Structure 1
Amino acid sequence: MESLRFMSEKGSEKGSRVDLPMSEETTQEVASMEEVSLSGSSIDSAEEEPNWPRTWRAYACWLGCFFLMFNSWGLVNAYGTFSSFYVGHSLRGNDQLELNLIGSTQSFLVLLFSAPVGRLLDAGHFRYVIGTGCFLVPLGMFMLSVAAPKDDDALGTFATIWGTQGFVTGLGMACYFVSSSQVAATWFPHRKGLAIGFVACGASVAGVVYPTMTRYLISALGFVNAVRLVATLVTLTSLFSLIFSTPNPKHTHPRPQSYRSLSTWIDKEAFHNKAFVWFMAAVSFLFFGFYPVFFNLEEWAAVGGFGTRDGVKAHMPVEANPSETEENKPLQTFWLLTIMNGASTIGRLTMAAFSDKTGPLNMHILAQIISSLLVLILWTLVSSTASAIAFCALFGMFSGAVIGLPPASVANILACTYRSPGDKHIAHAKLGQWTGMMYSAAAIPSLVGPVVAGHLVTQYRNYVTVMGWSGTCLVISAVCMGVSRAYLPCYDGKSVGFKVRRWAKREEGEEKGVEGSDGESVLPTGAIKEGPQGQQEAGNDTPV
């Protein structure tokens, strides 16, 4: 009897695998993945793993990945402070469009190379990837101190500052970004949301440390020496990441047969997954509108009278803030960016922890909706320094989850796509590639979004245009996430569309008293409708 039960279980597992729609090419790829996973120890059966790792290497890796994010998106989040300095000093002759181009180049390169970096990490080349970033990011920051004029009041050259801070540093950040979440996730199969959330906090913590550190060092030592000290911190934390950011040895790394094949870098099956395609569109619109808020926050505060730059107000021909009085003196603008990034840490960590219970994509949609409303409503109604601080704190909290949850949401989509026990290792193997493809698709929006916002400021001399642009893009992103969610099953395996149709029939049946509009009897509450062959739809234990 035991042997018969075992054979029936194997048969049902095999049947579940046949149900997955795959092309012939994908079938061969899955077979090769199975050979790799069966040839040694694997992390495929996450049920055998403890909830929390029992080795110090996991937590050292976790901290190392935190520093990878610290020195990638963390420096991007801190760019608003650099931009505010350039406006009043070395690049004061350049308009806001060009200044935003430096920061948007960083984010563009980080996202553009996410797909190839993710595939190289899947193949096990993490040392080369992280090592390249460990060389380029400190190099770019040190070269910035050489490219910038020694006298803070002297004019600098835009091309050299863009080349060092925007291009060289951006290339190094591209090696860090996907590595941070993908490497850490291998150690925490049961706590991926929280693990990635902690790593994502590196960006917001850096958004507190780097602006504050830069501002005070500029006042004490000048811009050049301040940048050199920032570059030193970048170097030390990068070396820690290089040493300790290693994936779980049990994690498999299927290597492609040829790196020249297009299928090695782009998984065509991802574009047949409607949930992933809509989520990829959502992330693209997210980057259209997200970083214009961070890049323009300090200048908006200085122009509106909610903050000062270097102890003096910005001079720009826009309407002055009528609420400002001698008793209501504004604070330094970099504190607003610091508050926003500090609140982002809370949002990234708490919402990522809850996402393991509610489902990462569900939490992502909620945070996205609230962030868009904060930009469209609260930001436009700011009329005092206190309300500006309130906006920075609230938007920072929810936007932290918005920008930190995409890798966990992709893992959620993969877990629902390859949900049978024998296919879970495929979801693990594709995580880096799908995450990289998602971010690479958002590269152009991340470059264009801040530039468009800068052009709107230059053209209309008013930051309301930035608020409208960012808020609208975030709303569209939330809508796309909702569509993506509709294509995924719920806890009981039923799709959202099926539940809506069943609810509609029940409501219509209650109005008619007996039957629905199509003549079928209305299902009682909690009943499960059977398919055309009399079989229930397969359940799913993956939280969505």
Structure 2
Amino acid sequence: MTYSFDKDSRKGSEVSLQLSNTPTEAGSVRNMQPSRSSPRPSVDSSMDEPDWPQSWRAYACLLGCFFLMFNSWGLVNAYGTWSSYYVGHSLRNTDQLQLNLIGSTQSFLVLLLSNPVGRLLDAGYARHVIGFGSICVPLGLFLLSVVHPSDVGARANFGTIWALQGLVVGLGMAPFFVSSSQVASTWFPKRRGLAVGYVACGASIAGVVYPTMLRYLIEALDFNRAVRCVAGLTTLTCIYSFIFATPNPDHDHHAPQKWASKRTWFDTDVKTNKAFWWFTAAVAFMFFGFYPVFFNVEEWAAFHGYGTRNRAGQQPAPNGEDNAPIETFWLLTIMNGSSTVGRLILAHFSDKVGSLNMHGAAQITCSLLVLVLWPLASSESAAIAFCVVFGLFSGTVIGCPPASISNILNCTYTTSDTKHFAKKKLGHWTGMMYSFAAIPALTGPVIAGHLISKYQSYLTLQMWSGFCLFLSFVCMVLTRWYLPCEDGEMVRTKLARMIGRHLQSDREKGYKSDIGSPDRLSQAPTRVPSEMPSRQMSSEKVHQPERMA
């Protein structure tokens, strides 16, 4: 005999009503079987999945997502080498504010379009989104090599370079960034932090490959041919990503009912989610101060004499330059190489320690490094040490936001009826978070460049970046305040209990001291009935004849 546990079949059944009202989860039929109206089973299907996927497509997709990050934030991380060439050659005598505007435009477009890109990914349009970026990024670089003057001493047009490298290439990077973490996470439900960490390594490895590639190809060939070689590498990697970076077929898509609806592009569930808004503020402050370090570290090294750059224009001459100085582009390469190690550490420990906890620890460390260690770097060895240590923690800082948003989602949708939204809305919430950080990503490097040009000192850059990173850490602490701990209890509840225990301990100490006083002994209330006769009973029994006898 087969039994139906559907909601309609249980109407009027006293037995089913008793089972559904049972307080224990194991005895509840409703918790054992899904109803017809439930879109997902209440028991998490991911519990039956292996820790590592068995299909080769998962690992081919992971490499494709690695290349997506390689060609998005990897090019942003490498922009410092482009800027170092421009300031000494085709865009010499150009204000540092304008030079930083090219790189900040790229990061601005990547973050601004993250929300619509994430929503399209949730709706199942991954192939269309990645295909658009696979055309724009190589096309923008190829066109840049065409319009840039071939003569080394010729001046280039700033507007043309900004339009191609900042606007066209930036538009192509935007679909890659969110797609890299979102698509990879569909194949690794139990190792999501590990998969996102491996994908994030693409940005730091590209920050090593592209500056080194540009530096040596410019010397061996020229700038235009070097850019064509870079464009060729991006073309090959984009083709691979377009073919293999596809979501898991078993992944459920969250298609909207109406594309013109406001809720389609802005999830109203975040309106009252304080953890989401504090974390969004943390990411915004992070972009205010993070990329000014990457965009200006080479010029800072050349300004203080820790490297050489031919035809430096009207930049201040290096001071105290020795006979064999290091090339400035190596500092950016070292920083990005160390960032790879930081991202790998994130990949291995974020699922155990908690991505938000790791993010906050790395953020406060980066702020202290920029505020203290960077201004005190007065030699080449100290400059290299700063790049190594800052790069190590910066990899965790820039790679953690998608995993932290996943943590917030898991704490938001906890019931059996809403738990599936934690996976379906990952791209949407991540996109909204990054879109709000687009303006800081655009203005942060520009403000830093203006401070350098106005005060002729890189100390202003260091104070600006360090203070913004510290504010980001403060916002992360507030985010953690509104999220439950691993045992499901809020932080404020734990602190209240700890404070209450101390207060109770103090009261108990005071109470014991009062009991020790003879005057307080008769006034101390007792909750347990005393077995000794009271004074009233004793006086009554004294006047009884038998007692007197």
- Structure 1 distance, partners of 2:361, 2:165, is 34
**How many Å apart are 1:193 and its aligned residue?**
0.7
Q: Report the secondary structure of 1:149's partner residue.
A: coil
- Structure 2 distance, partners of 1:45, 1:472, is 44
Q: Report the secondary structure of 1:307's partner residue.
A: coil
Q: Which residue of 1 aligns with 2:315?
A: 316
Q: Report the secondary structure of 1:151's partner residue.
A: coil
Cα displacement string for residues 357-402 of structure 1 (whole angstroms, at most 9, x for unaligned residues): 0111011101111111110010010010001000000000101100
Q: Which residue of 1 aligns with 2:108?
A: 108
Distance 1:394 1:108, change over 3 A: same
Cα displacement string for residues 222-258 of structure 1 (whole angstroms, at most 9, x for unaligned residues): 0000000000000000000000001111100121111
**How many Å apart are 1:507 and its aligned residue?**
2.3
Residue among 397, 402, 407 paired with 1:402: 397
Q: Which residue of 2 aligns with 1:353?
A: 348
Q: Which residue of 1 aligns with 2:161?
A: 161
Gaps of 5+ in 2: 6-14, 512-549
Cα displacement string for residues 329-369 of structure 1 (whole angstroms, at most 9, x for unaligned residues): 32000100000000000001112310100111011101111
Instruction: Give the superposed CA RMSD.
Output: 2.3
- Structure 1 distance, partners of 2:402, 2:275, is 14
Residue among 488, 496, 499 paired with 1:504: 499
Letter of the aligned partner of 1:478 in structure 2? F
**How many Å apart are 1:425 and its aligned residue?**
1.1
**How many Å apart are 1:309 and its aligned residue?**
1.8
Q: Is the 8 A contact 1:297 1:337 kept in 2?
A: yes
Q: Is the 8 A contact 2:93 2:314 kept in 1?
A: no
Q: Which residue of 2 aligns with 1:528?
A: none
Residue among 441, 445, 459 paired with 1:446: 441
- Structure 2 distance, partners of 1:218, 1:231, is 14
Q: Is the 8 A contact 2:89 2:312 kept in 1?
A: no
Q: Which residue of 1 aligns with 2:50?
A: 50
**How many Å apart are 1:11 and its aligned residue?**
8.5
**How many Å apart are 1:421 and its aligned residue?**
4.1
Distance 1:483 1:55, change over 3 A: same
Q: Which residue of 1 aligns with 2:136?
A: 136
Q: Is the 8 A contact 1:302 1:313 kept in 2?
A: no
Q: Which residue of 2 aligns with 1:206?
A: 206
Residue among 378, 390, 404 paired with 2:373: 378
Q: Which residue of 1 aligns with 2:275?
A: 275
- Structure 1 distance, partners of 2:117, 2:294, is 26
- Structure 1 distance, partners of 2:367, 2:419, is 34
Letter of the aligned partner of 2:242 in structure 1? L
- Structure 1 distance, partners of 2:231, 2:161, is 15
Letter of the aligned partner of 1:212 in structure 2? T
- Structure 2 distance, partners of 1:203, 1:197, is 11
Cα displacement string for residues 463-490 of structure 1 (whole angstroms, at most 9, x for unaligned residues): 0000000000000000000100110011
Q: Is the 8 A contact 2:93 2:313 kept in 1?
A: no
Q: Is the 8 A contact 2:87 2:313 kept in 1?
A: no
1:14-413 matches, cutoff 5 A: 34-35=38-39, 37=40, 45-310=45-310, 316-317=315-316, 321=319, 324-326=321-323, 329-413=324-408
Distance 1:214 1:13, change over 3 A: farther
Cα displacement string for residues 507-544 of structure 1 (whole angstroms, at most 9, x for unaligned residues): 2333343589xxxxxxxxxxxxxxxxxxxxxxxxxxxx
Question: TM-score, normalising length from structure 2?
Answer: 0.86
Q: Is the 8 A contact 2:181 2:199 kept in 1?
A: yes
Gaps of 5+ in 1: 16-30, 517-544
**How many Å apart are 1:316 and its aligned residue?**
3.0
**How many Å apart are 1:49 and its aligned residue?**
1.2
Distance 1:422 1:78, change over 3 A: same
Letter of the aligned partner of 1:436 in structure 2? G
- Structure 1 distance, partners of 2:273, 2:29, is 22
Residue among 477, 481, 489 paired with 2:484: 489
**How many Å apart are 1:313 and its aligned residue?**
6.8
- Structure 2 distance, partners of 1:439, 1:501, is 34
- Structure 2 distance, partners of 1:350, 1:170, is 29
Q: Report the secondary structure of 1:140's partner residue.
A: helix
Cα displacement string for residues 58-110 of structure 1 (whole angstroms, at most 9, x for unaligned residues): 00000000000000000000000000000000000311000000000000000
Q: Which residue of 2 aligns with 1:416?
A: 411
Distance 1:499 1:203, change over 3 A: same
* Alignment partner of 1:480 is 2:480: no
Q: Report the secondary structure of 2:419's partner residue.
A: helix
**How many Å apart are 1:457 and its aligned residue?**
0.6
Q: Is the 8 A contact 1:352 1:405 kept in 2?
A: no
Q: Report the secondary structure of 1:306's partner residue.
A: coil
**How many Å apart are 1:493 and its aligned residue?**
1.2
- Structure 2 distance, partners of 1:454, 1:13, is 64
Letter of the aligned partner of 2:296 in structure 1? N
- Structure 2 distance, partners of 1:347, 1:485, is 22
Q: Is the 8 A contact 1:303 1:313 kept in 2?
A: no
Identity, in percent, stands at: 62
Q: Is the 8 A contact 1:44 1:428 kept in 2?
A: no
- Tell me how many residue pairs correspond in the alignment: 491
Question: TM-score, normalising length from structure 1?
Answer: 0.86
- Structure 1 distance, partners of 2:157, 2:251, is 47
Distance 1:101 1:511, change over 3 A: same
- Structure 2 distance, partners of 1:392, 1:234, is 26
Letter of the aligned partner of 1:316 in structure 2? Q
Q: Which residue of 1 aligns with 2:540?
A: none
Q: Is the 8 A contact 1:13 1:420 kept in 2?
A: no
**How many Å apart are 1:325 and its aligned residue?**
3.9
- Structure 1 distance, partners of 2:27, 2:109, is 47
Distance 1:84 1:474, change over 3 A: same
- Structure 1 distance, partners of 2:199, 2:352, is 19
Distance 1:276 1:13, change over 3 A: farther
Cα displacement string for residues 20-63 of structure 1 (whole angstroms, at most 9, x for unaligned residues): xxxxxxxxxxx99x54x57xxx9952111111000000000000
Q: Which residue of 1 aligns with 2:464?
A: 469
Q: Is the 8 A contact 1:197 1:404 kept in 2?
A: yes
- Structure 1 distance, partners of 2:329, 2:223, is 15
Letter of the aligned partner of 2:106 in structure 1? Q
Q: Is the 8 A contact 2:108 2:442 kept in 1?
A: yes
- Structure 2 distance, partners of 1:513, 1:314, is 75
Distance 1:187 1:13, change over 3 A: farther
- Structure 2 distance, partners of 1:196, 1:226, is 31
